[in-house]
Amino acid sequence: MQGWSRERKALALLMGVSALLLVFGLGSREVWGPEVRWADIALQMLQSGDYFDPYLRGAPYYDKPLLSYWLITAPASLFGLNSWTLRAGTVLAGLGSIWLTCWLGERLLRKGTGLLAGWLLATTFYFLFWARVATADMLTVFGVLAALACYWRDPEDTRFSGYLGFCLILSLTSLCKGLIGFILPVLVLLPHLFSEGRWRRHLNLRLPAALVMAGGVYAIPFVLSHLYGQPSYGESGLALVFKENVVRFFHPFDHVGPIYTYLIYLPAYTLPWAPLWMLGLWFAARRWKQLEPNARWLVWALALLFAFFTASGSRRSYYVLPLVPFAQLLGAWWVVESRQARGLAGLGRAWPRALGAGALAMLLILGVAYPWSSGGGGVPAFARDVQAAAGQMAPWSQWRVLVLGDHDARLPMYLEQTGARQAHPFLYIRSGYPERDSATLFAWLRQRTGEYWDPSRTLIISQTAAHGEHPPTWLSADHRVIQSLPNNGQRLGHRTVSEASLAYLPIPTAMPLSASAVPDAAGAGKAAD
């Protein structure tokens, strides 16, 4: 690092610590919460080779644009679908968001503000928490900050290349979660554009031309889905965009929270540094007329984002994530400005110690405690037990997996990521199958799929008491049942597993051999294929 400036060394330290906080213990935590959907959908894409029709638990589920799934399937196609490839995109987006927050602070505010804001963001509990979870929300945060950085690189730039870069960032961000990726950057830039009539400079034909080209990029996944997707899929991506972004905003159909939702969650999501941006807001309000324009823009940006999310009828705690970098920028601005007002240079000794203590606390909580709570049982251990038991009978590559009912969507990923890859995609059947005995089930399967299913090489998975359904206990007559066990966190909290995963392994001596289950020549040929 000889020849590096002091600022570069400080930035390298920030990014190194941030990377450690984001990846330490990342692969040890069980797939959790909303990322279960991404894991299940990505797995079905990888197994079927159909990357244009997302399925969840075997049913069509075009809830998010395809890019959010492709960012998982791309690394998973090379390294397998696991906790690392599932979360890699989110981790990189979190790391990039810290760097962009630092860049914006240094670009727009007093020297040292951006670096402090980066440290505040890197040691914010809920920011780190969601940056380690596979969802599209952190991708949106990164995209919004990237678009703002593109604009603030030169707000007076009216070249076509500048417009195109900005609009492409908006399109790609919108392909991760929805049109919010377009709306948020434009919304927060409005105060700067309308001050001093800056918007007039951008009234030219180059801007709509860039928008048209970026719109074409945005349309590519939807066009590919229409051309190469299955005709029987039954869901329209563009229709879902309208439903998820427009209908949900004005007429929410789920996640309906009270109007004061973000008055609670914005402070919570900026802990442990929430008091800083609150003091910064009060400090700015008292000196509003004397504020420098960029500081005034920062306050406007935070206020407009808060108003936009509050105006939406659909409200959820982590929807507040795009506000967190702006809140921490405001907090850092207040710290630097208040110290300058008192004639104090730099951050002194107290702030580095506080930030170091915060980083250590985040490492212990998110990198050590959370992964430990997922160990000692749960779905990953269950998948290993199932594969070990199946491997005693035949190599894992010879097994087919049948998934019945509303199963635990975490399990298929763990069954796929360990051992040899499956020769056939998992078959998901949510309802309508006969519930009498295994011979009837396999005869029905052959009729339904046109393939012979070998009862001695078929693993059946289900779940106890899933959504009011009953597990297929009738399979116990000729199958060995393996049930998932509580993990360390559940045992520590004395929690019972109300919806445990179940695996039914055939017992060779007890497998039925009825006429309907014996393959004919055609069936044997299909099985060999």
Same domain assignment for residues 390 and 257 = no
Considering the domain architecture, whether residues 164 and 215 belong to the same structural domain is answered as yes
Does some domain include residue 146? Answer: yes
462 and 484 share one domain: yes
pLDDT of residue 185: 96
In terms of domains, do 365 and 384 share one? no
> Are 168 and 220 in a shared domain?
yes
More confident residue, 306 or 197: 306
Closest to 44 measured CA to CA, from 54, 36, 34, 52: 54
CA distance 143 to 132: 17
User: Is the pLDDT score of 511 beyond 60?
Assistant: no
What are the b/e assignments for 484-499, b being 16+ CB within 10 Å?
bbbbbbbeeeeeeeee
- The verdict on residue 411 lying in a domain is yes
CB neighbour list of residue 115: distance below 8 Å, 6 or more residues apart: 7, 10, 11, 14, 102, 105, 106
Judgement on whether residues 392 and 308 belong to the same structural domain of the protein: no
Instruction: Provide the residue range defining the domain that includes 434.
Output: 378-528
Which token pair is 525?
């040929």
In the predicted model, is pLDDT for residue 529 greater than 90?
no
The confidence score (pLDDT) of residue 161 equals 94
pLDDT band, residue 495 (cuts 50/70/90): low
Looking up tokens 């597990």 gives: 471
Whether residue 208 sits in one domain with residue 222: yes
What span, in angstroms and rounded, lies between the C-alpha atoms of 110 and 92?
27
Where does 383-475 show beta strands of DSSP type E?
400-404, 427-429, 458-463
Residue 196 has pLDDT above 90, yes or no: no
- Sequence-separated (6 or more) residues with CB below 8 Å from residue 418: 383, 384, 387
- Final residue belonging to a domain, choices 344, 372, 400: 372
User: Domain for residue 247, yes or no?
Assistant: yes
Tell me whether residue 200 is in a domain: yes
| 249 pLDDT tier (thresholds 50, 70, 90) | low
Residues 184 and 332 in one domain: yes
Token pair of 134, please? 């596979």
Residue 83 lies in a domain: yes
Using pLDDT thresholds of 50, 70 and 90, give the confidence band for residue 158. very high
Please check whether residues 191 and 55 belong to one and the same domain.
Answer: yes
What pLDDT is stored for residue 516 in this prediction? 38
Whether 1 is covered by a domain: the verdict is no
pLDDT, tens digit, 9 for 90 and up, residues 172-194: 999 998 888 999 999 999 999 99
Query: pLDDT tens digits for 322-348?
Result: 999 999 999 999 999 998 888 777 788
What is the average pLDDT across 229-239? 73
pLDDT in tens, 372-426: 998 888 888 999 999 999 999 998 888 999 998 877 778 888 888 655 555 678 8
Are 108 and 40 members of one domain? yes
Do 152 and 107 touch, CB atoms closer than 8 A?
yes
pLDDT band at 469 (very low <50, low <70, confident <90, very high): low
**463 located within any domain:** yes
Question: Which pLDDT tens digit goes with each residue over 259-294?
Answer: 888 999 999 999 999 999 999 999 999 999 889 999
248 — pLDDT class (breaks 50, 70, 90)? low
Q: Are residues 304 and 406 in the same domain?
A: no
Domain boundary among 319, 340, 372: 372
Residue pair 4/12 in contact (Cβ under 8 Å)? The answer is yes
Share of the chain above pLDDT 90, in %: 52
Contact 449, 427 (CB under 8 A): yes
Chain-wide mean pLDDT for the chain?
87
245 CB neighbour count, 10 Å cutoff: 18
Separation between Cα atoms, residue 529 and residue 526, nearest integer Å: 5
Task: Single out the residue of 394, 413, 506, 504 nearest to residue 460, CA to CA.
Answer: 504
pLDDT category of residue 467 using cuts at 50, 70 and 90: low
**Number of domains, the chain:** 2
Q: Are residues 211 and 274 in the same domain?
A: yes
Closest CA relative to residue 409, chosen from 26, 25, 44: 44
Domain boundary among 372, 395, 414: 372
Digit-coded pLDDT (tens) for 97-138: 999 999 999 999 999 999 999 999 999 999 999 999 999 999
Own/partner contacts of 271-276, CB < 8 Å, gap of 24 or more, are 271/124, 271/125, 271/126, 272/123, 272/124, 272/125, 272/358, 273/120, 273/123, 273/124, 273/328, 273/331, 274/327, 276/120, 276/328, 276/330, 276/331, 276/332, 276/334, 276/335
110 in Cβ contact with 103 (< 8 Å)? no
